Chains A and B, each alone.
Chain A
Amino acid sequence: MNTDVIKSNIEASLITWLKKIPVISFYAGTRGWFYLISWSHRITGILLVISLWAYLYGFHALQASQKLFILALLLWILAIPMAFHGFNGARLILYECFGNRNDDAMIRSVFALSFIYVIVFGMLMLMGNQMVSPFLYWVIMFAQALVVAYGVATRILKSRHSVLWKMQRISGSFLLVMVPAYFLFIPLNPSPEIEANFLITGIQGLFLMAVYILLLLSALFHAGYGVWSVMSDYLASRNLGKGLAALVTFITLIFAWIGLLATLSV
């Protein structure tokens, strides 16, 4: 079986299909496919920011009603932009910070990994409880996330970049493992996910709470800096930029407070 032929046939069919959409065809022809992928990264990022804020705002309501089919379906749909944004972010970090220029292979990996993740996530949602130990699960995921974040941090920490730029990359690499893990954990656990973890008391409970707080703060920082970065592209006025930075910081702090209160009150 010639896998190269199959691969090129799949790609050719997909590209032909995508080119039937006028806006995609236009930008692919005049700016290139990576331009479209960059826009997809932005759009999925903004979608995830809105989802994060909405999730934190309706934290308790969502927990109480999460068995509803429609919410499960929405969660599964949300996993698609989440997986794409995460894996594409990893591709950008590899390109910009690790000198990996094999972008064609990397973008294939982004789509392949996103596809696999979304399918596995859907299967786990259908199967339901797998009786996974919350503590063990999060120890493994947290350790993996730390390894990835440490690898990126050692690469960029001594560089001349701004602290915020570095934190964006480090938080992104941490979230690359932690957010998909957070999504996966929901169908793995029989009870509402957060509550189930904090039923465990003592050191295990404290560890889980610390993991969730770190995840919350990383996600909020990554979201806030991402929003500000996109807005900065379209602002000529420095004062307006500073004003918007202050506004984004304020909104991020409010949601951090809401998230912390919700996490600590469980």
Chain B
Amino acid sequence: MYNEIYDITLKVKRYDPEAKRTWVQDYNLKAGRILRFTDLFRRINNELDPSLAWNSSCEHAQCGTCAVQINGKPLLACELLVENAVAQFGTSVFKVEPITIAPVVRDLIVDLEQAYDRVHKAKPYIIDGAKKSQAQAESQILPRDLERYVEATRCINCFCCATACISSHKGFLGPNAVMASIVRLMDPREQAREERLDLLYSEEGIYRCHTSKACSFVCPKEIDVAHFIALAKEGKFKT
């Protein structure tokens, strides 16, 4: 049982930027049940094909760098075990594609700089913190305030939500970027509310969200992204 070996086929969508050529390449592997998909990619590099390009960094589902689409579902390759993938998709043949949020650089690697431009636009930090009195050494957030948005602070900007979103990426900042701004509006320390609201209530902000809730469905951190965007539509940033 614990030594069970799966015969896995990965059908990887590849892209060669020099030749501007796209094709699907099959890799057949024997894999143990608790190998992750990043382990499979590494084994391909070590044993089958050193030219396959893919991305990862922490490999503990904390950085979002290894986000790919497996059989059409955006997820983190470092989090997906072979046995879970077989159970979830009901097959041992997996189509592996890059996420669609930015142009592909090579194979499974996308231009994350370009993807992050949207997050930077949303300014995922406190723009103008509440002024503290001399006696006050630190800002205080009431537990009940923090409880309302702490879930959203777990976002790692893997762009799985943006890839799954019904609204495409042409005119939308994306669910993660919008949520990053909403979180700061819910943070009692943030003073730059007008600047944030101007962006949120613009055509590239919440008006592009149609509550398809695909963002919440695919989020690897299990954040209910649609809930936070709906709070913004309701204007309910405060308790």
Chain A residues packing against B (C-beta within 8 Å): 26, 29-32, 34-35, 37-39, 41-42, 92, 95-99, 101, 103, 159-162, 165, 229, 232-236, 241
Total residues of chain B contacting the partner, CB 8 A:
32
Q: Is the interface of A mostly helix, strand, loop or mixed?
A: helix
Decide: A232 and B166 in contact? CB cutoff 8 A. Answer: no
Decide: B171 and A233 in contact? CB cutoff 8 A. Answer: yes
Decide: A236 and B201 in contact? CB cutoff 8 A. Answer: no
Distance, CA A39 to CA B164, complexed state (A): 13
Whether, in the assembled complex, B116 has its beta carbon less than 8 Å from a beta carbon of chain A, the answer is: no
What 1/0 mask marks residues of chain B from 191 to 210 whose CB sits below 8 Å from any chain A CB? 00000010001010001101
In the complex, which residue of chain B has the Cβ closest to the Cβ of A165?
B207
B203 to chain A: which residues have CB within 8 Å? 232, 241
Distance, CA A160 to CA B234, complexed state (A): 10
Decide: A29 and B73 in contact? CB cutoff 8 A. Answer: yes
Pick the contact of A96 from B74, B208, B211 — CB < 8 Å? Answer: B211
A236 to chain B: which residues have CB within 8 Å? 170-171
Do A34 and B217 contact each other (CB < 8 Å), given the known contacts A101-B227, A160-B235? yes
Distance, CA A101 to CA B235, complexed state (A): 15
Pick the contact of B217 from A31, A99, A101, A161 — CB < 8 Å? Answer: A31
Distance, CA A92 to CA B166, complexed state (A): 15
**Taking the nearest CB of chain B, how far is it from the CB of A25, in angstroms?**
10
Do A162 and B214 contact each other (CB < 8 Å), given the known contacts A30-B164, A97-B234, A99-B236? no
What 1/0 mask marks residues of chain B from 226 to 239 whose CB sits below 8 Å from any chain A CB? 01001101111000
Decide: B73 and A229 in contact? CB cutoff 8 A. Answer: no
Decide: A32 and B227 in contact? CB cutoff 8 A. Answer: no
Distance, CA A165 to CA B234, complexed state (A): 12
Distance, CA A39 to CA B71, complexed state (A): 20
**Taking the nearest CB of chain B, how far is it from the CB of A139, in angstroms?**
33
Decide: A31 and B171 in contact? CB cutoff 8 A. Answer: no
Decide: A34 and B72 in contact? CB cutoff 8 A. Answer: no
Whether, in the assembled complex, B13 has its beta carbon less than 8 Å from a beta carbon of chain A, the answer is: no
**Taking the nearest CB of chain B, how far is it from the CB of A245, in angstroms?**
10
Do A99 and B197 contact each other (CB < 8 Å), given the known contacts A30-B73, A232-B208, A241-B171? no
